């Protein structure tokens, strides 16, 4: 049973993108998430042919072929400011290009922040951006995964309806999927900490978006309470969520083939990842 559990963690690309796969293998990952470049800088060093070859070689060596990327935190496609929006547009296309070159088919991103322009304006802005981006990258084997957010500040995506609006108003709907973050969903007000609440939340998601849209789970406990709208990750079982939602997800047959990735705090030796992954294995019946 353990061998077919598609679980893993976010891995550092320090020293080269190919090193992330070796790090993932060392803690028992079957799937990983990476940044393809520095997450807090606009510029990125070009991926060389040798970088891409080493990455592909390590995929074969480790057997970790299910890889997810996450975009830079600086990108805000919902920005009402023309200069930041254009900069974000260009940076996101580069992120997609890097995924294409590395053979990564899923790029997770936070929908963005309206920064005072209002949710309706923000959602329309990001939808317009995506129509242009997806048209520009037509034919690329890269899907965009809109991440559920906690709703901190003026962030969009804390309601399932926000994500549905974006998908409904984008032409290439099949290229937009969802990344379901447990911490964010709980902080946004969806109580998945008990069985009744979990089932109710998943039923609501099915009605609004369709569960088949979930392409990745971020499995994170939450330091803050239900509806706090604060995004603070905690180790599994040590936060406000407890172990229950992770047990529900690990045993939900509908999500057996969906990658489940940790974004919990960790030190250099990644012992925390080993502990959290061991917990997930123990929760799977």
Where do we find the tokens 């990327």? 69
- Whole-angstrom distance between the N-terminal and C-terminal Cα of the chain? 8
Mean pLDDT, range 137-143, rounded to an integer: 97
Phi-psi sector, 270: left (phi>0), alpha (psi -120 to 50), beta: left
For 26-49, the pLDDT digits (tens) are 999 999 999 999 988 898 889 999
Instruction: Provide the token pair at 256.
Output: 């057996």
Look at residue 1 and tell me whether its pLDDT is greater than 60: no
pLDDT at 232: 97
Mean pLDDT, range 124-131, rounded to an integer: 98
pLDDT at 2: 62
Q: Is the dihedral of CA 201, 278, 236, 29 positive or negative?
A: negative
Tell how strand 31-34 and strand 260-262 pair up.
unpaired
For 217-239, the pLDDT digits (tens) are 999 999 999 999 999 999 999 99
Mean pLDDT, range 100-128, rounded to an integer: 98
CA 202 to chain centroid: 18
- pTM of the shown model: 0.97
């Amino acid at each position: 049973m353990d061998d077919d559990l598609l679980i893993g963690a976010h891995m550092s690309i320090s020293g080269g993108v190919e090193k992330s796969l070796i790090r993932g293998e060392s803690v028992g990952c079957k799937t990983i998430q990476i940044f393809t470049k520095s997450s807090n800088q606009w510029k990125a060093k070009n991926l060389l042919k040798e970088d891409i070859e080493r990455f592909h070689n390590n995929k074969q060596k480790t057997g970790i072929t299910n890889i997810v990327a996450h975009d830079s935190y600086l990108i805000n496609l919902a920005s009402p400011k023309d200069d930041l929006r254009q900069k974000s547009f260009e940076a996101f296309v580069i992120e997609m290009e890097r995924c294409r070159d590395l053979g990564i088919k899923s790029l997770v991103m936070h929908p963005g922040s309206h920064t005072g322009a209002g949710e309706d304006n923000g959602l329309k802005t990001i939808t317009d951006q995506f129509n242009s981006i997806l048209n520009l990258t037509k034919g690329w084997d890269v899907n965009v995964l809109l991440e559920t957010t906690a709703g901190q500040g003026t962030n969009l995506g804390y309601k399932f309806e926000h994500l549905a609006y974006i998908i409904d108003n984008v032409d290439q709907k099949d290229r937009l999927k969802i990344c379901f973050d447990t911490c964010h969903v709980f902080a946004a007000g969806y109580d998945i900490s008990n069985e009744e609440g979990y089932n109710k939340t998943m039923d609501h998601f099915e009605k609004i978006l369709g569960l088949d849209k979930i392409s990745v789970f971020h499995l994170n406990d939450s330091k803050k309470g239900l509806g706090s709208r604060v995004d603070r990750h905690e180790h599994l079982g040590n936060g406000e969520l407890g172990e229950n939602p992770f047990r529900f997800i690990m045993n939900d047959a509908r999500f057996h083939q969906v990658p489940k990735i940790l974004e919990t705090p960790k030190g250099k030796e990644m012992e925390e990842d080993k502990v959290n992954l061991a917990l997930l294995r123990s929760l799977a019946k």
